[in-house]
Amino acid sequence: HCHITFDLLSLVQYLGKWYEIQKLPAVFQKGECTTATYSLKSPGVVGVLNRELLADNTVIAITGYAKAKDPSEPAKLEVTFFEDSPPGNYWVLSTDYEGYSVVYGCTDILGTFHADFGWILSREPTLSEEKLEELYNVFTSNGINIDVMTVTDQSQELCADMPLWA
């Protein structure tokens, strides 16, 4: 099930800040106002900074790095946040660099447990319904079920006071 189609990826164009618009629920994400910021650490290695606002108004910031396992497949990144845990898949299925990104990760553990992760990201805190419908098709055409996709709150009311330093 982890065999899907990709666009080519220019890492340099992909750098910068992305807002999470929708996601397939993941136990390691509990907050709102979620953003991901990517920076070039060294050739082929991207620094990752994920931030989210929790219900108690505290900000969680987590840092890691991403790199392509195979340089000939630059859209298939592996992300590491903790040195003692295996890297997670971060596969960019589609992006136009300036507006949207569709990201997928899947995990098969010992051939018995399968989990799908998916994110729709945007350079702005919102995306149009038309664009979202288009991006859903990127998932579904690859056989990924998005029935449980949830909306991330990026509203100005909630996110405007999120401390920048965290």
Distance CA 135, CA 127 (A): 10
Distance CA 115, CA 144 (A): 11
Specify the pLDDT at position 166.
Answer: 45
Distance CA 14, CA 4 (A): 20
Phi, psi of 119 (to 5 degrees): -140, 140
Specify the pLDDT at position 7.
Answer: 61
Lookup: tokens for 2: 């982890």
Domains identified in the chain and CATH numbers:
11-159 (2.40.128.20)
Q: In which residue ranges of the chain is pLDDT below 50?
A: 1, 166
Q: Which candidate, 34, 63, 24, 37, places its Cα nearest to that of 159?
A: 34
What residue spans of the chain are helical by DSSP H?
11-14, 129-140, 156-159
End-to-end CA distance of the chain: 37
Total-model pTM: 0.88
Specify the pLDDT at position 3.
Answer: 57
Distance CA 136, CA 14 (A): 20
Digit-coded pLDDT (tens) for 135-148: 999 999 988 999 99
Phi, psi of 113 (to 5 degrees): -115, 130
